[in-house]
Structure 1
Amino acid sequence: MVSFDTPGGAKFYKADLHIHTPGSHDYDDKDAAPDDLVAEFENKNLDLVAVTDHNTGEYFEQLQEAAEGSSVTVLPGVEITTGQSGEHQIHMTAVFPPEEADALSPFLHDIGIRGDPEHAIAEDTIPKICDKTRDYGGLPILAHIDVEAGADFELTDRNNPTRQKVFDPERVAALEVVAEETADEFEDFAHIRSSDAHSLADIGSRYTFIKMDSPTFEGLRTAFADPESRLSLTSEPTTHPSVDGLLSHNGFLQDRHLQLNKNLNCLIGGKGTGKSTVIEQIRYALDIDPRSDDIEDDYNALIENTLRPDGIVEVLVTATNSDQYRIRREYGEEPEIERIPNTEDSEPQEVDLTIEQFRTEFFDVEIHSQRELVELARNEIDQLDLLDSYFDINDEIEARESVKQDIRAKNREIADLREEVDSLKAEKERFEALKQQVEVMEQKGVEEYVEGQEEWEQERAALSNVIGDVEALEEEVSSLALADQLSLTEVDDGPNEDLLQSVNETISELQDDIAEHEKELKRIVNEGRGDIEDIREKWNEENEKREKEHESLADEIEEEIGVDIEEFFDKKAELEDLRGVSEDLENKRGRLRDARGEKADLLDDLQAARQNLSQARKEGIEELNAQLGNVRVSLHSQSNRDEYTDWVNHVLEGSGVWTEHKEQITETIDPPELAEIVRNNDTETLCELADVTPTTAENFVTHDDLVEQLTKLELYEIHDRPVIELNDGGWKELNEMSDGQQCTALLSIAMIEREVPLIIDQPEDMLDNKFIFTDVVDILRSIKQDRQVVAATHNANIPIIGDAEQIVVMRSNGRAGFYRDCGSIDDDEIKALAQDILEGGETAFKRRREMYHRVV
């Protein structure tokens, strides 16, 4: 478990805002005490309740006192029987802040509720009651509108002027519905569900999740003003991967554990307060390099300035498996990962993964530094990488890389086979030369002196072959571990535990027996090899006797026929060793032909894998376009030769080949074909395909730096080319757009709905304020429930109209950055700081009020 030094911002709290008590005349459990109600609140996991007895607020004080020290906040309220009706009197509720509880009695008197609460009826109309509720600091709610005594149930004629005055979104704070689907009929209103409990058992039978900094009346008021972002009638939204917190030691940021929210987080503050530092230190902990060199230079400088020499950054994350992990990275070192247990008494567990493996398997994040989108617009390969991160194409990428690995292995095999073929060709030439030399000696009659020599050489070769086979067998036997293939069965407390235990005993005995037999087999083979070595030694002794006899006649033989007998024996022995070389050579040549054919098949497989990847990207793009509005993406398969051309240009430096000719070659010839041309020194084909001179072709195919990198050339990618367009009075591609339009298009893509957290530094840079207000904020509001967003910003529209769950206000004294305050706009101080710090803060709050026609 991890504790934080800052609050976590707004989150969903479970609320029941229509609860009766024994203070209502029709309450079932008349003997229930306030403590009983509070116990039931806690039993139902309620965080916020409103006491709304019929036409009275007298029970609130007892219940508030009973709730002190509990986890529940109790608000004062009342259910009002109004004078307007259909078949029955229409009910509404009014909920107030605790500090206004004493105003309930004069409020009820003011609207005409007097005398016995059971029979009292308000004298004022519902619109007037709504106005007076607000005058007294409360929130007016139309109660259970879709059942008896509800406004929609009783006033069925939608053209009825009374109904139209009752359903006034500028007066009514919220509608309470019984059936969820009723809410769909009233889009202009905030909606809640409440139990209308008249017994202990009914408490919490219906409820609403309300997003607030804490369960307070002010949080409720803010939620009613922005119901789309802050109210949920169904269930608490599911969790998703998130960056939960940041702690920095010995660096620029203060040594406090910053807590981030699972939804929209906004870092605000003046220049130099540390907003970008928070984002880049998260990037550093997760070891995610920026895409462009310029951004990477700025990033490295910032990390050096804020962490060097011995700074440490710790990032807490919730992964896709819902487990929590801490990533700790000291300046200049590799990240370390540990899993955080769910209980306080357990120690963190070290995770034996690299950070790259961890990001692939458990947790990843999309990070854009300041100005990174502008840089991204200039590089199509970086754009493709960004798009790839949105698609489920891991299988296709792995398939492509697997084929590449197979080709690399096949190239190594072919190179080895070529060496073996060359070696065997040399041995065959040697064999033919020896054969002729021995034939000359034999023609001189040497065989008369060394009768049976050929048979002796055959015996020598046979013994060598046998010993080689036995040595290979001995090596194979020594590596046996058959017993390891058996494993014991896990025995739980099942119905046949004894039988399973018997299986384990049998397996253990079997493992022991196999190990014993393996040991005996090794002994037998070793003993056999020794016996054969002894036999060869005896053979060597006999052969030495024979050779000594011949050596004693050596001078006589050389004098009579002119043959050196020792030379004859050496050549004869070598000839016998090489006797099978022709067959070996043909076999190797056949294997080389097969390997080249297999490689050709692999190259076809690689092309197919690339086509499959392109198709998967196109399918992903189709789904992506369905989420985009004024932006669309398309793909030109394997058409981006820029990186391929740049690489060839670089490798061919100093070759004497002009740049325009190198570009001619790469524009007309794909990497595998070009590699084969160079490998075969095929200048004629190069001249024909690329329309270059023989001199250019010769310089190209013989350039050492290129020849040494043929496998890399052969596998070089011709990338897919993404085309990103923005509809601004007509569709325009990125290279036709202004910087602001480019950022608009790329930001629209970056903010699509997905699980991976989005961390972005000043997304408003290069964008006009109208687009931020009309598009960026809408997108943020739509994705933040299911995707965490962390944004450093100086534009008020993003945190205020975007309704950021966590606003982190930062400040600096020049030497260090501090988290001054944290929270949402529920908090009056956060609201005041946001208006003061952000550009257009006051205007943004005004816009927010205009958007929802409600008091914020």
Structure 2
Amino acid sequence: MSDALSQCIDLESGSRFYRGDLHIHSHSASHDVTDIEMTPQAIVATAVRENLSIIAIADHNEITNIQAALKAGSDAGILVIPAVELSTPEGHLLCYFPTYEALASFHGRLELADRGLPNSRCRTSMHACLEIIKALGGFGILAHVDGGNGLETNDPGGSPHKVDIICHPALLAIELKNAASVVRYSPEDVDPVRTQIGKERTARLGLGERQYLARVLNSDSHTLNALGRNAAQDRRLTRYKMAKPSFGGLQLALEEGDSRIRLEDEIPTSTPFILGVSIGGGFLNNQSIHFNSNLNCIIGGRGTGKSTTFEAVRCLTGSPSDADVVDSEVWPQRLDLFWQDEAGEMHTLSRPMRGDLVNIDNPLDGPIAFEIDCFGQGEAARVREQAKGDPLALMKYLDTFTHVGEAIQEEQAELDNLLKIRGDIIKARKNVDAIPQTQRALTVLQQQLQAFEAAKGSEIIKLQRSLATEKALKTSLQEKLKELKLLIESDNLNESLTALRTLVDTDGIETGKAEAAEIIAQIDVFSEAANLAKTAIKSAYTQLHKTTLAAIENWTAKEQPIRNEVEEKRKQLEQNGVKLDMSHITKLASDEATHQKTLINLRAWEPHLKALHKDYSEALARRWTARRKVSSLRQAYAIKASKALAEVLSDLQVKLQYIDSGYSEEAVSIIATAMTWRTSNYVKARAIVEKLTIPGLLNAITKTQYSSISDIEIEKNVKLFTTGDAKDIIAQLGDQSVRAALETCHVDDLPKLMVTRRIDEGPSPKYIQRDFSRLSLGQQQSVLLALILSSDSKRPLIIDQPEDNLDSEFIFHTFVPVLRRAKERRQVIIVTHNANIAVLGDAEQLIVFKSNSETSKIVARGSIDDINARDAACKILEGAKEAFTRRARIYGIS
């Protein structure tokens, strides 16, 4: 680790998420624990090994092991929460307290029966327990609510006393058996009764829009082997966000569950992130930032260097920036950047003024560019402008934040292969189509030669034909001999062997070093054998070439007597009054031999054409399979993003979908040209492509389905084509060349992004629906950011002033909810002036800049829970604490 990196990671980086297991049973205190090793000390030691920072021993109705656990936890550096699991009449309840004294006081007020026995129970009602918990400063969690002895299992439905329990202020969470549980008590719950109970809880407690009961997973372990693991025995429980482990931090995390609680089953095991940046020289001289792996908000007044920091971080992408600040007079003389990849390896990179990024750890082979999603100032405006001339601009932009890139490359490769085969078919078809014409020409030549034979020149014609045929054979022999020479002299084998050897002849192999040496040795043996064989082949070819040329020379010499015989016979015929045009006969015989040779070559294309058609059919199927894969990936992202946004947005519904293969300007042109439609009628071709899609159109052509065309509507009950039109379209597009053009044209999915907003005016709410293109620039920006944050991408996301063009209400209702949801799924770094983003976004780290006329420096850093960072942020974002409190008084908010 470099000194610069070491100094950087020593800096404060704000809050983080800690692994916790808040439901553990111990031996002697829980009657059903038979593992004698489940002592408080062993439980704490196991928790350390399982990387747990927060634990709670919650025995059935007993607290005898809690003090020992608290001491063991204190010695080991683990937070142990005093707790107990009560078997109440309504179901099991987990109870947690800030101190052992509070727990003991609570325990002393309970009416317990048959203590220590299998039927041990608490006769005090669950609601009464919650009342005592509240008075003692603790909180409750419904134990395995969806399992045995859980409240939902014991008391399904919505009885009044159950509603009272769910709506109690001391109840902060529900414990689930697995992350896929449908029990939520929120709008996402599949049970309308539970959904209504969740609404009632929000109303009774005066909670915010997204403040539902937190959902947690614990081990409920009765053995050491099960500790720190869920019901499926996976190390996937719950993470709790706080500055450092504490009871108060845990309680706050549960109250703010949408941003501070994460079920490990629902988040990546690890993510790559930007570790930090260190700046030397320039406006931000001697400033360093240790970034949090979650939400970082860089705040400060105008001209404090926030955008300079943004551009500095963007250097990690390896792509040039067109920002004016880069390499300007305020730019760092030396910029050090630190990155941690998904495997946990750290990288140090450096960039001098006007220089290139260099990997300090490994200058030769180390990575110098990393995948980072960037949303700079004016990004939405650029997408908006591009969308005016390109309907796919939105899709292309969203593609950069999804995992569709590789599938697009596969699709393009299949399309290129299809086009190549199509080109080969055209060439082969041209040759096959030439067979009849060549056959006719050969027949005419043969008829002419037969006419000469009828004129008593049969013997001469026969000899002349023989000479012409054999001359063509000798020419073919010499051509094949040259092809054989090129094949023998090719160095492809040696190149392949060299490439093969290079793969294993490297210093980078450790585990398979002996095996690599064995492979290299065998490659060398094969190379030597190949070289010997090649020498022998070359020698044999030399002899073949010499023998063949000599034989052809002798062959040609043997033809001379025949030529003499032809001449002699010609003279005899002339003496008998029969005159033959020998030059013409020679040409006819030569042409006959040439046409016969050509015909043989052309007929060889017939099986080749048949094989090409088979290859084309298979390649076409692969092309559409690859096309569907791209479409399905996009559609899966659209469904997931729309669902994720529906879970966090209240008065706004964003629906993204893609019309599978519903866009192709190339196909529009092909259809319009085939139908001889003018430019004004391109709308018809475009309607066919969008409504029917290219695969649908090709299917209609194959099956002659006129109704597929005639059923196309431009609006409800208004059809674009008659049945007669449909028949004409199917006939024209069914032409072999037109159909092939449609099969090989470039096709894409057509994105449709609709935004529906609820307006509560009058007796019933109204819903206003708009296409993305009709939204304001600010609304478009907010929706884009929400979609980006809802993607599956684990790449860090850096955003520069997303509040531009947005009003605070829209930020609060659309951007902040998805920002809170992104935690532990990816790192986000935002440059902002907006309090809603930094404060309500629940930033893990605030980085506060302040400047004078010459330099700028970081005056505070820490989480939103840190007093210094919070006060500094309040001063900048709210205009000081007094300004904030005065506005509150003016608004009538106390």
TM-score in terms of structure 2 length: 0.58
The residue type equivalent to 2:655 in the other structure is V
Give the drift of 1:300.
3.1
The yes-or-no answer on 1:762 pairing with 2:801 is: yes
Inter-partner Cα distance in structure 2 for 1:545 and 1:834: 110
Aligned to 2:374: 367
CA shift, 1:264, in A, is 0.6
Aligned in 2, Cα 1:238/1:161: closer, same or farther, shift over 3 Å? closer
Aligned match of 2:295: 264
Provide the rounded CA distance (Å) in 2 between the counterparts of 1:410 and 1:462: 32
- Counterpart residue type for residue 723 of structure 1: L
- The verdict on how the C-alpha distance between 1:231 and 1:628 changes in structure 2, with shifts beyond 3 A counting, is closer
Q: Which residue number corresponds to residue 122 of structure 1?
A: none
Whole-angstrom CA distance in 2 between matches of 1:422 and 1:563 = 36
Shift of 1:642: 7.9
Instruction: Indicate conservation of the 8 Å contact 2:620/2:743, yes or no.
Output: no
**CA contact under 8 A between 1:631 and 1:725: conserved in structure 2?**
yes
| Alignment partners' CA distance in 2, 1:790 and 1:839 | 21
- Counterpart CA distance in 1 for 2:839 and 2:378 is 23
Match of 1:350 among 365, 379, 383: 365
Alpha-carbon distance in structure 2 between the residues aligned to 1:232 and 1:638: 35
2:548 paired with 1:532: yes
> SS of the residue aligned with 2:271?
coil
Distance 2:859 2:561 in 1: 100
Residues in 2 aligned to 1:667 and 1:15: alpha-carbon distance in whole angstroms: 55
Change (3 A) 1:520 1:602: closer
Shift in Å at residue 243 of structure 1? 2.7
- Which residue identity does 1:533 align to in structure 2? L
Q: Partner residue of 2:98?
A: 141
| Aligned match for 1:747, one of 773, 776, 785 | 785
Following superposition, the deviation at residue 541 of structure 1 comes to 3.8
SS in 2 for 1:350: coil
Q: 1:457 aligns with which of 468, 471, 495?
A: 468
Equivalences for residues 538-557 of structure 1 within 5 A = 538-543=554-559
Listed one character per residue, the Cα deviations across residues 197-228 of structure 1 (whole Å, up to 9, x for unaligned) are: xxxxxxx9xx9998677x7x9x9977775565
Give 1:278 shift. Answer: 4.0
Q: Supply the distance in 1 between the matched residues of 2:803 and 2:829 (Cα, whole angstroms).
A: 13
User: Which of residues 615, 618, 638 is equivalent to 1:621?
Assistant: 638
The one-character-per-residue Cα deviations of 1:371-393 (angstroms, maximum 9, x if unpaired) are 43465467452333455556655
Is residue 2:592 matched to residue 1:575? yes
Matched-pair contact (CA < 8 Å) for 1:557–1:564: no
- What does residue range 5-20 of structure 1 map to in structure 2 within 5 Å? 7=11, 9-10=13-14, 12=16
Q: How big is the shift at 1:410?
A: 1.6
Counterpart selection for 1:720 from 714, 733, 750: 750
Secondary structure class of the residue paired with 1:456: helix
Q: Deviations over 1:785-829 (max 9, x none)?
A: 232111111112322333322323345678887666544346554
Matched, 1:241 2:198: no
Flag structure 2 segments of 5+ consecutive residues without an equivalent. 21-45, 56-70, 83-94, 113-121, 151-165, 174-213, 217-227, 229-236, 647-651, 699-708, 710-719, 723-727, 760-766, 890-894
**Does 1:833 find its partner at 2:872?**
yes
Q: Name the counterpart of 1:660.
A: 680
Q: Distance in 2 between matches of 1:256 and 1:557?
A: 111
Deviation at 1:153? 7.5
Change (3 A) 1:633 1:444: same
- Equivalent-residue separation in structure 2 for 1:230 and 1:673 (angstroms): 48
Distance 2:331 2:568 in 1: 83
Indicate conservation of the 8 Å contact 2:281/2:334, yes or no: yes
Name the amino acid aligned to 2:681: H
**C-alpha spacing 1:231/1:430, structure 2 compared with 1 (3 Å):** closer
Contact map agreement 2:631 2:749 (CA 8 A) in 1: no
Number of residue-to-residue matches in the alignment: 681
Q: CA deviation at 1:536?
A: 1.3
Distance 1:231 1:510, change over 3 A: closer
Asked whether 1:786 is paired with 2:825, we answer yes
Compared with structure 1, are the counterparts of its residues 517 and 373 closer, same or farther at alpha carbon in structure 2 (3 Å cutoff)?
A: same
Distance between the aligned counterparts of 2:340 and 2:305, measured in 1? 24
Q: Which residue of 2 aligns with 1:631?
A: 653
Q: Deviations over 1:558-592 (max 9, x none)?
A: 99866564564455334313213334435536755
| Distance in 1, Cα, partners of 2:855 & 2:869 | 21
8 A contact 2:111–2:124 mirrored in 1: no
Distance 1:492 1:287 in 2: 31
Please tell me whether the aligned partners of residues 407 and 603 of structure 1 are also in contact (alpha carbons under 8 angstroms). Answer: yes
Task: Determine helix, strand or coil for the equivalent of 2:322.
Answer: helix
Q: Which residue of 2 aligns with 1:107?
A: none
Distance change (3 Å), C-alpha of 1:765 and 1:309 = closer
Task: Tell me the distance in 1 between the aligned counterparts of 2:285 and 2:510.
Answer: 51
How far residue 836 of structure 1 moved from its aligned partner, in angstroms, is 2.2
Sort the Cα spacing of 1:74 and 1:521 in 2 relative to 1 into closer, same or farther, 3 A.
closer
- Counterpart amino acid of residue 749 in structure 2: H
Matched residues in 2 for 1:429 and 1:406: separation?
Answer: 36
1:286 to 310, 314, 317: 317
Q: What is the distance in 2 between the residues matched to 1:264 and 1:801?
A: 12
Quick one: structure 1 residues 419 and 279, their matched pair in 2 at CA, closer, same or farther if it must change by over 3 Å? farther
Equivalent pair of 2:664/2:747 in contact (CA under 8 Å)? no
1:750 to partner: Cα distance: 2.4
Q: Does 1:734 align with 2:741?
A: no
Aligned-residue CA RMSD in angstroms?
Answer: 6.6
Give the superposition deviation at 1:409.
Answer: 0.9
Q: How does 1:301-340 map to 2 (within 5 A)?
A: 302=324, 316-324=338-346
The residue type paired with residue 585 of structure 1 is L
Identity %: 21
* CA–CA separation in structure 2 for the residues paired with 1:746 and 1:712: 33
Q: Does 1:807 align with 2:846?
A: yes
Mark the CA change 1:722 to 1:280 in structure 2 (over 3 Å): closer, same or farther.
Answer: farther
Task: Choose from 386, 391, 413 the match for 2:424.
Answer: 413
Alignment partners' CA distance in 2, 1:515 and 1:844: 87
- Cα shift readout 1:604-641 (whole Å, capped 9, x = no counterpart): 65445434543454444333333222434253524754
One-letter amino acid of the structure 2 residue matched with residue 786 of structure 1: R
Q: What secondary structure sits across from 2:474 in the alignment? A: helix
Give, in whole Å, the separation in 2 of the partners of 1:306 and 1:418: 63
Change (3 A) 1:211 1:443: same
- Distance of 1:74 and 1:611 partners within structure 2: 51
CA contact (8 A) 1:753 1:786 kept: no
- Distance of aligned partners of 1:442 and 1:253 in 2 relative to their CA distance in 1, 3 Å threshold: farther
